[in-house]
Chains A and B, each alone.
Chain A
Amino acid sequence: MLLEVNDLHVSYGAIRALKGIFCQVGEGEIVALIGANGAGKTTTLRTISGLIRPQSGTITYKGQPITKMPPHQIVSLGICQVPEGRRVFTRMTVLENLEMGAYTRKDKANVKADIEKVFQRFPRLAERKSQLAGTLSGGEQQMLAMGRALMSRPTVLLMDEPSMGLAPMLVQEIFSIIKEINQAGTTILLVEQNAHMALSIANRAYVLETGEIVLSGPARDLANNPEVQKAYLGE
């Protein structure tokens, strides 16, 4: 497995946010992590990225433990994150945001070419490349956050609720872009509240409930699971 999370426990003071979760992401997969508000999805991603130190448990990437690594080293290894709420650098231009995404890279010429590729994928960003990111619309900011993460040429892309707060049309577009990114060779761990969309593009999925994985399996099976349908698909 490319990325493995084993028995991960995370607390915020007295609050136990993750109570021993296990999950795996294989090369080339789209794996969805779904769950209600406060289930611990963001906590899982932030811990994988090294922003939160777990109480116990291990995270391995290509067989190598990364549990105690600082975030910037984890990015250098090829794990990049599109954080919840986009978190673009609002006081920097679109172009500067993309440059920050390429921070760990030394191959300047290819970075230039990759910026052009991001602009091809998101033409709306190209038109606004000298604009401050804070002045972009929510959808444009999501595209920028995705483009920024792609600039690191990640092997694994962690995405935290990319569809949050977007209009249905745009949600469709974002999901089809996620699929494209995956088809171009990037492995994806996708956190979503929009379980319907997430299960429709994922290979496998995990259901997180108050800090524990309660269900897992092929995405199609979960989509047909009556419990999942009742709790997360509103059927």
Chain B
Amino acid sequence: MLSQQLLNGITLGATYALIALGYTMVYGIIQLINFAHGEIYMVGAFVGVLMVSVFQQGLLVSLVAAMLACMIMGVTIERIAYRPLRRSTRLAPLISAIGVSIFLQTLMTKIKGPQPVAFPPVINDALYKLGPVEISKVQIIILIVASLLMAGLHFIVKYVKIGKAMRAASEDYDTAALMGINVNRVISFTFAIGSALAAAGGVLVGIYFNSVSPFMGVLAGLKAFCAAVLGGIGSIPGAMLGGLFLGVAETLGVAGGFDLYKDAIAFTLLIIVLLFRPTGLLGRPIQRKV
């Protein structure tokens, strides 16, 4: 029973983590909470639906297509909605992000209508027994895809040149530029990666809950944002940990009888953690060395 809930929680948490990574990476570099990130996740889910239903593609192709589409979208949003505001007050890009978020929700409602649509069948609903726990094929796929993507991200950030440049720019923007790093390109790259991960999350969640709607990004985005803050905003391992933590807590909370409060669990948890660790689980102390 408990192990079953843990498994469900980790599955849910893996999807939160995929979204949370985008928040944390973008914040790490330009100190912006990208409020349109949840909508990128939503659009990713719709691209998945489109690929499966209209283009009759399998899961892998649909997933990759959604990721690519959202990469382009994320990079474009940064170019037209955030970059021109980079030297203005910090509130300006934040408001711009909220604008983009509303725009995408409205646009999608206009195209697909406000009702949730079912995700067309793309994988069978086989169940496997692993001792006391049952795991569905969707869950296995979510866990494998999320692990691969996060391992890939870790590899890029740790070993690949542009990933190292990301770390440098997120620590010290000006000095990164003084080293010859094209910081704008690094920012575009960050948006591309973050958006691709969110799109993957959108497709996987769409399949898992068999539902996709223009408003699915609102709550998922908020919760993933909580996960990012919980883990320590700006910290990549923090976003992964925060996502898993939140998924497990939410699932256990529901199983423990708090199902009416399901959506409040994330926020309650966030408040409690921040009371004791204001910079989140893996966040760095705020002070800067001079």
Contacts and interface: CB of A to CB of B under 8 A. Distances in A.
Contacts of A46: 174
A90 interface: yes
A124 interface: no
Interface of B is mostly: helix
Interface residues of A, number: 27
A89 B174 contact: no
A89 B290 CA distance: 12
A118 to B, nearest CB: 14
Nearest to B185: A72
Contacts of B184: 70
A51 B183 CA distance: 12
B289 A134 contact: yes
B280 to A, nearest CB: 16
Interface string A76-118: 1000110101010111100010011101100000000000000
B178 A104 contact: no
Given A90-B171, A91-B167, A85 B290 contact: yes
A92 B179 contact: no
Interface string B172-202: 1011111111111000000000000000000
A233 to B, nearest CB: 28
A51 B164 contact: no
Contact of B179 (A50, A51, A70, A75): A75
A152 B179 CA distance: 8
A92 B170 CA distance: 11
Given A51-B174, A51-B177, A134-B289, A100 B168 contact: yes
B180 A75 contact: yes
Contacts of B177: 50-51, 70-72
B167 A72 contact: no
A148 interface: yes
B178 A49 contact: yes
B100 interface: no
Contact of A91 (B171, B176, B180, B181): B171
Contacts of B171: 89-92
Interface of B: 161, 164-165, 167-168, 171-172, 174-184, 289-290
Top 10 nearest A-B pairs by Cβ distance?
A: A75-B180, A104-B180, A71-B177, A87-B175, A72-B182, A103-B180, A100-B179, A72-B180, A81-B178, A89-B168
